[in-house]
Amino acid sequence: MNLDFSTYRSGDYYDELIDVEGVPRPWARTLVEHLSSLDGAELNRRRAAVDAAIITMGITFTVYSDGSNIDRAWPLDIIPRIMPKEEWRHIEAGLKQRLTALNLFISDLYNAQSIIKDGVFPAEIIAGSKNFRPQCVGHMPRFGVWAHICGTDLVRDRDGTVYVLEDNLRVPSGVSYMLENRMLMKRVFPELFKLCDILPVDDYTTRLFDTLAALSPRPGERPVIAVLTPGIYNSAYFEHSYLAQQMGAVLVEGPDLMVAADDCVYMKTIDGLRRIDVIYRRVDDDFLDPETFRADSALGVRGLLRAWRRGNVGIANAPGAGVADDKVVYTFVPKIIRYYLGEDPIIPNVPSYLCIDADDRSFVLANLDRLVVKPANESGGYGMLIGPRASAAERAEYRQRIQADPRNYMAQPMLMLSTAPTLAGDGVGPRHLDLRPFVLQSDSLYVTTGGLTRVAMREGSLVVNSSQGGGSKDTWIVEAQ
């Protein structure tokens, strides 16, 4: 039996590929026609080929609670998510605008703090921020850029509007899945790439290399770039090794490096010590340098911050960049864009309520059953309350947490996340998804073509995080047809 899209409906939600009448959107028509023409056995064969390739290639996402088995296949749904190029160009401009403003904001916070003096941003938010690093005050990295690699989560609401859900400025992951998904789709559906005009994604690693190379303290020579990973037990280890391999960089762990008396960073090689110019670190600030941050960290390098402040090594993302990766700071981003750039935000924020604000707080506490409440500094979907789906006891417990530490919480209305057709059993059903494009900035700005589409594989679920059982889709930006 062939895949049947004719009865597919996404109900109240905006669907990326099929409209409310059940008609494929113009940019999805070729895909839907083609998939409908494949019989069930053929489709299953292709799906099995993808699953087998994922297992063989070891594209895995470690889940901490999995115990002895540290690999887990990261499911790829073979029906892509498609966006027309015109819409994408608009989003791309919005992402560049946003990261530019955020970097100006971080530079300002660690230096003149004009935005606070001008009364646009409240000082007490900085005072309560876990990610504001006093050790960075007075420092200005090259190009004034702190967050060189940003993963921005976008969602689409019921009316079709795309919002920024959060800015990941610390160590965002997922870009390798975007690249591998495309490679797998090309292997398994080569004919689709002839039928549809799909923009390529694979220049990312080259652009990442250029972005990092621009940070070298020894311009003119080919820089020695290292990707610093916490090691094979980290959930994104696959990505760390993948990116290092693709860039021709060295994959290092903390104990591979040392800072010598000259305040330069060296790696330990079979031929003695060799200087490193740029570190793409995938280790959190807290663990980066036991001399400056957590003294018990075995993942970092003693003296690394010293070497960076002396300008002897480039670090991406810079220590302290995470100050802008905070769900409370997030609510100020539209103001931040207006303040530094004098422009209106191209992509809107999701309307948000700050618990530090008395009026907002009482609104949040009165409407816990209708809102999604998030802690300011968690990522990966940990620690949030989905009000409409929580029990009364969970809401009561959360209420106390908010009252104890209002600075640390913000709330948003429950979004009607958009859907796309996803294989389920023998048929196809709507599943919720988001989109994480990656934005690069050093001497220039770059946005991936599309990004990583994460999909909640369980029916009705809104949690797309890979650490919580989500899957992914290839993301196609297509020329209009």
Partner 1 sequence: MMLVLSRVAESLYWMTRYLERAENTARLINATTQVLLDLPRGASFGWDVLLKVAGLDRLFEDEYSEQDEANIMRFLVTDERNPSSIVSCICVARENCRTLREAVPSLAWERINSLYLFVNSRAAQAGERTRRYGILEEIIERLQAVIGLLGDCMSHDVAYQFIKLGRYIERADMTTRIVDIHAAVLVPRQQVPEDPTIGLLWMGVLKSLNAYQSYRRHVSVHVRTADVVNYLLKDPHFPRTVQHCLDEIEACLAALPHNMAPLKLLRIAQRRLDAMPIEILAPALRHEYLDAVQSDLAAIHAEIAAEYFQLYEQPDAPQAAATA
Q: Which residue in 274, 310, 370, 389 binds partner 1 (CB under 8 A)?
A: 274
Kindly indicate which of the ranges 53-61, 142-150, 185-193, 324-332 contains the residues binding partner 1, using the contact rule CB under 8 A: 53-61
Q: Is residue 363 exposed (0-12), middle (13-18) or buried (19+ Cβ within 10 Å)?
A: middle
Q: Which residue in 50, 227, 411, 456 binds partner 1 (CB under 8 A)?
A: 227
Task: Name the phi and psi angles at 477, rounded to 5.
Answer: -100, 120
Kindly indicate which of the ranges 23-31, 54-62, 141-149, 448-456 contains the residues binding partner 1, using the contact rule CB under 8 A: 54-62
Residue 244 touches partner 1, criterion: CB under 8 A: yes
Cβ atoms of residues 333 and 351 within 8 Å: no
* Token couple for 278: 């740029």
Residue 6 touches partner 1, criterion: CB under 8 A: no
Residue 120 touches partner 1, criterion: CB under 8 A: no
Q: Which residue has the tokens 């008609």?
A: 23
Q: Which of 415, 419, 451 is nearest to 436 (CA)?
A: 451
Residue 39 touches partner 1, criterion: CB under 8 A: no
Kindly indicate which of the ranges 31-39, 159-167, 224-232, 451-459 contains the residues binding partner 1, using the contact rule CB under 8 A: 224-232
Pairing type for strands 314-316 and 278-281 reads: parallel
Residue 174: CB partners within 8 Å, gap ≥ 6?
151, 239, 436, 438, 452, 454, 466
Kindly indicate which of the ranges 98-106, 230-238, 350-358, 422-430 contains the residues binding partner 1, using the contact rule CB under 8 A: 230-238
d(CA 173, CA 427): 31
**Nearer residue to partner 1 within complex by CB, 302 or 338:** 302
d(CA 251, CA 241): 6
Residue 268 touches partner 1, criterion: CB under 8 A: yes
CB of 273 to partner 1, least distance (A): 5
Q: Which of 229, 348, 345 is nearest to 279 (CA)?
A: 229
Cβ atoms of residues 140 and 107 within 8 Å: yes
Residue 183 touches partner 1, criterion: CB under 8 A: no
Instruction: Compute how many residues bind partner 1; rule: CB under 8 A.
Output: 36
Q: Based on C-alpha coordinates, what's the Rg of the chain?
A: 23
d(CA 323, CA 158): 31
Cβ atoms of residues 90 and 84 within 8 Å: no
Residue 256 touches partner 1, criterion: CB under 8 A: yes
User: E strand or H helix at 474, and its extent?
Assistant: strand 471-478
**Nearer residue to partner 1 within complex by CB, 53 or 445:** 53
d(CA 356, CA 423): 43
Residue 266 touches partner 1, criterion: CB under 8 A: yes
Determine the straight-line distance between the first and last CA of the chain, rounded to whole angstroms: 29
**Nearer residue to partner 1 within complex by CB, 223 or 387:** 223
CB of 252 to partner 1, least distance (A): 7
Q: Where are the beta strands (DSSP E) in 100-182?
A: 149-156, 162-168
Alpha helices in 343-475 (DSSP H): 358-366, 392-404
Kindly indicate which of the ranges 73-81, 114-122, 263-271, 384-392 contains the residues binding partner 1, using the contact rule CB under 8 A: 263-271
Residue 295 touches partner 1, criterion: CB under 8 A: no
Q: Where are the beta strands (DSSP E) in 414-470?
A: 419-424, 427-436, 438-441, 445-447, 452-455
CB of 472 to partner 1, least distance (A): 20
CB of 274 to partner 1, least distance (A): 5
Residue 188 touches partner 1, criterion: CB under 8 A: no
Residue 22 touches partner 1, criterion: CB under 8 A: no
Q: Which of 284, 217, 281 is nearest to 244 (CA)?
A: 281
Q: Which residue in 43, 250, 304, 452 binds partner 1 (CB under 8 A)?
A: 250
Q: Which residue in 58, 380, 388, 460 binds partner 1 (CB under 8 A)?
A: 58
Q: Which residue in 38, 63, 116, 224 binds partner 1 (CB under 8 A)?
A: 224
**Nearer residue to partner 1 within complex by CB, 40 or 311:** 311
Residue 56 touches partner 1, criterion: CB under 8 A: yes
Residue 315 touches partner 1, criterion: CB under 8 A: no
**Nearer residue to partner 1 within complex by CB, 176 or 449:** 176
Residue 391 touches partner 1, criterion: CB under 8 A: no
Residue 253 touches partner 1, criterion: CB under 8 A: yes
Pairing type for strands 445-447 and 419-424 reads: unpaired
Q: Which residue in 20, 23, 48, 55 binds partner 1 (CB under 8 A)?
A: 55
Residue 459: CB partners within 8 Å, gap ≥ 6?
424, 429, 431
Kindly indicate which of the ranges 114-122, 165-173, 269-277, 279-287 contains the residues binding partner 1, using the contact rule CB under 8 A: 269-277
Q: Which of 334, 292, 284, 327 is nearest to 309 (CA)?
A: 292
Residue 167 touches partner 1, criterion: CB under 8 A: no
Residue 393 touches partner 1, criterion: CB under 8 A: no
Q: Which residue in 4, 86, 202, 262 binds partner 1 (CB under 8 A)?
A: 262
d(CA 470, CA 454): 7
Helix, strand or coil, per DSSP, at residue 425: coil
Residue 204 touches partner 1, criterion: CB under 8 A: no
d(CA 181, CA 452): 9
Residues that bind partner 1 (CB under 8 A): 55-58, 224, 227, 231-232, 237-238, 241-242, 244-245, 249-253, 255-256, 258, 260-262, 264, 266-275
